[in-house]
Chain A
Amino acid sequence: MVTLLAWLSTIRVTGIVHGHRESTGCVPIFIRASRSRYADNGDFWRVIYSNGMYPFAAGSRSDYFAYLHPQYHIMQYFNEHAVVVHSSQTLFVKLAQLLNGLLYSHKIFDIRFMGIVNFALYLGALYLLTVALTHPVRGIRSYIIALMVVFVFDDSAITLYMNSFFAEPGGLTLLLYAVAAILLLSRNVYRRRWPLVVLYFVSSALMVFNKQQNAPLALSMAVVTLGLLFIPQWRRVRPYILGGIAAVLLTGVVTFALISKQFNDINMYQTFTYGVLVEQQHPGKAIAGAGINRQYALMRNGAYNPPEYASVLPTNKATTKHLTSKLSTGWVVAYYIKHPQQFMALMDVTAKNLMVVQVGAVGDYPQSAGGSAQQQAHYFTGMSTLMRAFYRAGLRSTSCWPWC
């Protein structure tokens, strides 16, 4: 039984082809078995410890990003770790833990249960999206559209996220639910509309609450929601829609407010070393002008948790006093306003990498698969490879602008 379940859990459900509900009534599902997924890039701890789990051989995990580790211990006694990141991802993890407890073990958590939960919810979102895009047309074009959805959203660069403790798959799934709900509403696919409105608002709010960096996206969702005010038959429910917009915006504010001091310190330190100090010819002079000792310019490209020797320990008292405590989002914004050329150079870096979806820094296979460290998966990456090649030009190239 356990073997069967383990086998079932390794199956990757890679997409749905949806014809028309009435004409075919069937949802063929392409399945293929695979064991690959993203390894830990150092971010998993914030999820696993606060959810009562810990890795195997926690003391000597020097290769955690090179190979993936499929199993984790489940804490049997009191969990002393406070919640470090408040996120809707916890709902996904709790669901996976429940399944794991019911079907597999109470002592060991298999990360594939995380994959089952993520995949099942993701498939639901893709199903609704495909229905919205194909309704009410029948025939060959619907199949072309369904195949396109599979080609785009079943790309391995995306699906490798599913079997991991990253929050990203949850965010994407919730965004797709919100998009599908809006499209279904606008096309009158279902007779009853309120379930779609509820689905839309719940998934938008959870999407914003998914990651701290999604907090500003509450504004984007507010823009989308404004569209609902234009439905003439809905004059009477407009106050409720406005209330929904307010709720989504409030979720954004709460998400932002719940960022812990520790995480703020990490993010501010890294935005300093990876942002403020790079693409700048005279970083010492620049930061001295903004009130920070110019010697800290030496910290360029240094991580908050340096893997090897670092000239200054980011966590110690002196660094906190003279650097981290002086940094804030306001300081960073003011700095970039003063140095617009550097900011444009940084945006150029992001534009060049905009379409790089696959996380290259971590391995995609377990050590038992026999591959080299940080080995990358390359099957079914057609869409991400295509987009990566197409958008390589960068921000300053005019070929990028017509699309925006």
Chain B
Amino acid sequence: MLILVFSVGLYADIRAGATEGVLRFMLVLGLLSILIGVPIVSVIGDGTADLAKHMFLAPMSLEIILVILVADALNGRLWHAYREGAEQDV
């Protein structure tokens, strides 16, 4: 679902020739791979020992994604690259 939300910006920016949404999409993709990869690495590497500490970066990357999501939604740049004066329309 998060991927879907950010791919809208990716698609719109590729059509418009902007890079903002592309870079952000790759960033979110990388952070999501941390979110999914860290628990697997923790279980294979050290079982369920010290889980809170070993998985620290997983909740952090999810929180980073959510902060970007909310901030960009507030500034009206979630669906397309930032446009001058766009905030007045919202």
A contact residues vs B (CB 8 Å cutoff)? 41, 43, 129, 133-134, 136-137, 141, 144-145, 148-149, 152-153, 158, 161, 166, 168, 171-172, 175-176, 179, 182-183, 185-187, 213-214, 216-217, 219-221, 223-228, 230-232, 267, 270-276, 278, 303, 329, 332-333, 336, 343, 346-347, 349-351, 353-361, 383, 387, 402-404
Question: How far is A350 from B47 in the complex, measured between Cα atoms in Å?
Answer: 10
Residue ID in chain A nearest B74 by CB atoms = A141
Return the contact of B23 from the options A172, A175, A228, A359 (Cβ within 8 A).
A228
Q: Shortest beta-carbon distance, A133 to chain B, in Å? A: 4
Q: What are 12 of the A-B contact pairs (CB < 8 Å)?
A: A141-B87, A148-B70, A153-B67, A175-B64, A176-B64, A182-B27, A213-B45, A219-B37, A221-B30, A275-B48, A351-B39, A354-B55
The answer to whether A271 and B45 touch (CB under 8 A), given A187-B82, A223-B30, A351-B39, is yes
Whether the Cβ atoms of B44 and A332 lie closer than 8 Å is yes
Cβ of B1: which chain A residues have Cβ within 8 Å of it? 402-404
Interface centre among A272, A333, A356 (most CB of B within 10 A): A356
B24–A186 CB distance below 8 A = yes
Would B32 and A404 count as touching, CB distance under 8 A? yes
- Say whether, besides A141-B75, A179-B27, A223-B30, A186 and B19 are in contact (CB < 8 Å): yes
Bound CA–CA A274/B30 (angstroms): 29
Chain B: interface size category: 35 or more
Minimum C-beta distance from B6 to chain A (A): 12
Q: Is the CB of B30 within 8 A of A224?
A: yes
Residues on the B chain within 8 Å of A219, using CB: 33, 37
Is there contact, CB below 8 Å, between B34 and A274? no
Is A145 a contact partner of B74 (Cβ separation < 8 A)?
Answer: yes
Q: Write the nearest CB–CB distance from A209 to chain B, whole angstroms.
A: 14
Of A172, A223, A361, the most chain B CB neighbours within 10 A belong to A223
Do A227 and B44 touch across chains, with their CB atoms under 8 A apart?
A: no
Known pairs A350-B55, A383-B63; A217 contacts B47 (CB<8 A): no
A213-B27 contact given A172-B57, A267-B46, CB 8 Å threshold: no
Q: Which of B29-77 contact A (CB under 8 A)?
A: 29-64, 66-68, 70-72, 74-75
Q: What are the 9 closest A-B residue pairs judged by CB atoms, nearest first?
A: A275-B47, A227-B26, A274-B47, A224-B30, A186-B23, A350-B39, A133-B71, A402-B1, A223-B30
Q: Within 8 Å CB of A216, what residues of B? A: 37, 41
For A303, the closest partner residue in chain B by CB is B49
Q: For residue A231, which residues in chain B have a CB less than 8 angstroms away from its CB?
A: 19, 23
Could you tell me if A360 and B52 are in contact, using CB atoms closer than 8 angstroms?
yes
Nearest opposing residue in chain B for A230, CB measure: B22
Q: Does B51 lie within 8 Å of A278, measured CB to CB?
A: no
Is the CB–CB distance between B75 and A272 below 8 Å? no
Cα distance A78–B2 when bound, in Å?
53
Contacts of B59 in A (CB 8 A): 354-357, 387
